[in-house]
Amino acid sequence: MTTKYIFVTGGVTSSLGKGIIAASLAKLLQAQGYRTTIQKLDPYINVDPGTLNPYEHGECYVTDDGAETDLDLGHYERFLNVPTSQANNVTTGRIYQSVIEKERRGEFLGKTVQVIPHITDEIKERVQILGNSGDYDIVITEIGGTVGDIESLPYVEAVRQLKWDLGENNAISIHLTLIPYLSAAGELKTKPTQHSVKTLMESGVMADILVCRTEHELPKELRAKLAKFCNVREEAVIQSIDASTIYDVPNLMLEQGLDKVVLKKLNLDSSTPDLTQWNEFLNRHKNPKGEVNIGLIGKYVELQDSYKSILEAFIHAGAENEVKVKIESIHSEYLNDDNMKFKLGHLDGVLVAPGFGERGVEGKISAVSYVREANIPFLGICLGMQMAVIEYSRNVLGLKDANSTEMSEQTPHPVIDLMEEQKSITDKGGTMRLGGWDCELLEGSIASNVYKTKTIKERHRHRYEFNNIYKEKIETAGMKATGYNPDTGLVEIVELPEHPWFVGVQYHPEYKSTVANPHPLFVAFVKAALNHSEKRKGVSMAQE
Ligand code: GLN
């Protein structure tokens, strides 16, 4: 079949959850047998979000092919269980970079290079790359930002042209808006939506479907009013009411018939989506039989989005273990040896988060030291793993001032160091060790028991590495390297066999956890936390 395209735009305000709506719709279509993928177009000038601070844009999500992308791609993978790639995330920076490179190569044959048609053509080409691959029946393209923004204009124009080129039943647009509730008047208001649809129309794009974010049920009359003023059918006014979990949204969209309206407009057959596995997960997630407390130690703890994939991986792993994982966010800058017991003593597990730069690292190192001695289950991810190696080197090997050269270039013991090939790199964007790398697991290790296989492939995003010069010394002291890259010999996993559950990984397991495939390492970590909590309960009962 020819690939069908669905464009998702947003109006009135940002943060309406376009990514979740796109992912939920994709889930419903996938569950009816349609091969579906989602793409995000971001209207900022950074070539990719890799250089963005998490305070600006939340987590940077990494794909198998090593693209540094928007966190919405994480939702797409978690919902669909299908990997995304560089083609699934395009920014204005990348579009311009590509057009300017073509201009330098003389590809425009002396023409004046302009926003229309050159930039818009480049956008159209990027949208169709996924469709033309033959891998998908339906491509959903989410356009970042809000309609009416200056930077969104070329994208909306590209949507207008694509809808025209592809024809009515091959490309449709969904507009996501907000219906605010004025509590003083006790009323839901449609005017901002009317204006936003009008703004979209000024650019020549008619919304086929409206998805209305709301805190209260939309009454029938209000839907009729919206339909009339916004040129859509009443059945195409879909309510998106606030949900207690994002994983409820596919079912809420199903109840509203979003999938049916979409398929009808695309001239495709609709059936009842098979959400059996999804609903089993939801059921386990919502009916936990126990609870574990896990500390997430990082420096961006004020912002939920900075550790999005880690938090979601815990939801998947919690459901798998049938427990509620309560996450306590702990700011590493405020941790020190004096308050450690108070801040961490009650926890069933501690995760030391990824990160960059010096701020807060000493608190992370102290935290590792505490959980190592208190036998609390520990998972260190990327920088967290590096902190575990530094802590062990300092406190067990006695290498005072051991450090990563990221934090101290002059350290006498660079147990974490830059690889030779990284030393000459000055550009920050896209130059880390990125994407999927093979890792061989040592038999009998926690990792090999958890993954139940010999070779794994996990995603990376870092510059610094375990320094193999220290490997022998560290291993003799007791910390074991249990996973390594077969081509480079780089250490990817460290463990402490003497500890109940202590694992540090140089890669990011959280990126690969999905509803259908909860990540085995997170599942095992939550299980270890559960064991720890039960053991502790046993001890306190024995004391009573
Ligand atoms: N800053 C460290 C490095 O670049 C760790 C990066 C991370 O945690 N993602 O190696």
Q: Which atom of ligand 1 lies nearest, measured to the CA of 465?
A: 10
Q: Which atom of ligand 1 lies nearest, measured to the CA of 381?
A: 8
> Which pLDDT tens digit goes with each residue over 306-316?
899 999 999 99
This prediction's pTM: 0.95
**Ligand 1 pocket, residue 462 CB under 6 Å:** yes
**Ligand 1 pocket, residue 307 CB under 6 Å:** no
Q: Which atom of ligand 1 lies nearest, measured to the CA of 416?
A: 10
**pLDDT category of residue 439 using cuts at 50, 70 and 90:** very high
Which whole number is the average pLDDT over 355-369? 93
Catalytic residue among 68, 382, 413, 532: 382
**How far apart are the C-alpha atoms of 130 and 37, rounded to whole Å?**
8
Question: Apex CA 299: angle with CA 295 and CA 305, to 5°?
Answer: 80
> Which pLDDT tens digit goes with each residue over 24-33?
999 999 999 9
Of 510, 503, 523, 501, which Cα lies nearest the Cα of 325?
523
Taking CA atoms only, the protein residue closest to ligand 1 atom 5 is 383
Residue 430 confidence (pLDDT) above 90: no
Q: Which of 274-288, 334-348, 389-403 comes out lowest in average pLDDT?
A: 334-348
**Ligand 1 pocket, residue 356 CB under 6 Å:** yes
- Counted residue by residue, the chain has a size of 544
Q: Which atom of ligand 1 lies nearest, measured to the CA of 356?
A: 1
> Which pLDDT tens digit goes with each residue over 200-242?
999 999 999 999 999 999 999 999 999 999 999 999 999 999 9
Taking CA atoms only, the protein residue closest to ligand 1 atom 1 is 356
**Ligand 1 pocket, residue 299 CB under 6 Å:** no
Give yes or no: 255 in active site.
no
- Report pLDDT for 55: 80
Q: Provide DSSP, 192-233.
A: HHHHHHHHHHHTT---SEEEEEESSPPPHHHHHHHHHHHT--
Residue 12 confidence (pLDDT) above 70: yes
Record the tokens describing residue 30, joined without a space: 């996938």
Q: How far is CA 131 from CA 9, 141, 481, in A?
A: 19, 11, 43
> Which pLDDT tens digit goes with each residue over 515-531?
999 999 999 999 999 99
Query: Looking at the DSSP assignment, which residues form a beta bridge with residue 139?
Result: 5, 37
Residue 81 gets the label, from left (phi > 0), alpha (psi -120 to 50) or beta, of left
Ligand 1 center to 405 CA (angstroms):
11
Ligand 1 center to 353 CA (angstroms):
10
- Report pLDDT for 504: 98
- Report pLDDT for 54: 81
**How far apart are the C-alpha atoms of 220 and 235, rounded to whole Å?**
11
Share of the chain above pLDDT 90, in %: 89
Catalytic residue among 75, 118, 508, 532: 508
**How far apart are the C-alpha atoms of 356 and 51, rounded to whole Å?**
12
Give yes or no: 439 in active site.
no
Q: Give phi and psi for 72, each to the nearest 5.
A: -60, -30
Ligand 1 center to 337 CA (angstroms):
24
Ligand 1 center to 432 CA (angstroms):
9
> Which pLDDT tens digit goes with each residue over 137-177?
999 999 998 999 999 999 999 999 999 999 999 999 999 99
Q: Which atom of ligand 1 lies nearest, measured to the CA of 508?
A: 9
* Mean model confidence pLDDT for the chain: 95
Residue 421 confidence (pLDDT) above 90: no
- Report pLDDT for 428: 83
Ligand 1 center to 289 CA (angstroms):
36
**How far apart are the C-alpha atoms of 434 and 382, rounded to whole Å?**
12
- Report pLDDT for 544: 66
- Residue 300: CA count within 13 A, CB half-sphere: 19
Which whole number is the average pLDDT over 502-518? 98
**pLDDT category of residue 419 using cuts at 50, 70 and 90:** confident
Q: Do the beta carbons of residue 296 and residue 500 sit within 8 Å?
A: no
- Report pLDDT for 189: 94
- Report pLDDT for 197: 96
Catalytic residue among 68, 142, 320, 510: 510
Which whole number is the average pLDDT over 448-456? 97
> Which pLDDT tens digit goes with each residue over 348-357?
999 999 999 9
Give yes or no: 382 in active site.
yes
- Report pLDDT for 499: 97
Q: Do the beta carbons of residue 18 and residue 10 sit within 8 Å?
A: yes
Q: Do the beta carbons of residue 406 and residue 419 sit within 8 Å?
A: no
- Report pLDDT for 71: 93
> Which pLDDT tens digit goes with each residue over 94-105?
999 999 999 999
**Ligand 1 pocket, residue 461 CB under 6 Å:** yes
- Report pLDDT for 15: 82
Taking CA atoms only, the protein residue closest to ligand 1 atom 3 is 462
**Ligand 1 pocket, residue 139 CB under 6 Å:** no
- Report pLDDT for 420: 80
- Report pLDDT for 240: 96
